[in-house]
Structure 1
């Protein structure tokens, strides 16, 4: 995967393979730490409680379980 604002390629992983404590990387190097995760009843989507590593804010993000995301090594 190639993220905007970052000139290097990353390997994407499915959102369903993420665990609490993992760090995800988004466009322009924005990083988030996963604090909690909850599956929907159908297990098709996952709600993540995340903490921004740039400003410390906590919010939620909903993704399909099959969505590819970049996980920090």
Structure 2
């Protein structure tokens, strides 16, 4: 995901093209002001989109026309997966990222982690890893038989 720098906010904010905005999304503007997208519709030419947004601070409704490719900062949705939550809220120590992530994942069973991995990355890399382990075990068993 791309990022943009907003005035008054130190860290770069995650952003999407205006054409990808959907009703219900929360947008972030300069100095941290937020608004909720009510509707999005393309203009006649298709080069721009007309968004109806509601300011979260004042409650006022505004219509903004933006180029379809303009990057708009969006607030990330709350992660529903407990593993994602654990990773996002892990304690960051001075040891290492490996230690921090390992500590955060320690609360989950192997089957939960395997299911999470398959959902997030697909099963091809996990399958390759398992096949290599089985092959190594079979080779080792044949060497012992000799």
Q: What TM-score do you get using the length of structure 1 for normalisation? A: 0.94
Structure 1 spans left out of the alignment, 5+ residues = none
**Matches of 1:21 and 1:12, distance apart in 2:** 15
Q: Which is higher, the Rg of structure 1 or of structure 2?
A: 2
Structure 2 spans left out of the alignment, 5+ residues = 77-146
Higher relative contact order (CA 8 A, sep 6+): 1
- Tell me what 2:30 maps to: 27
**Matches of 2:25 and 2:15, distance apart in 1:** 14
- Is the helix fraction higher in 1 or 2? 2
**Is it true that 1:40 corresponds to 2:43 in the alignment?**
yes
- Is the strand fraction higher in 1 or 2? 1
1:1-73 equivalences in 2 (<5 Å): 1-73=4-76
Equivalenced residue count is 73
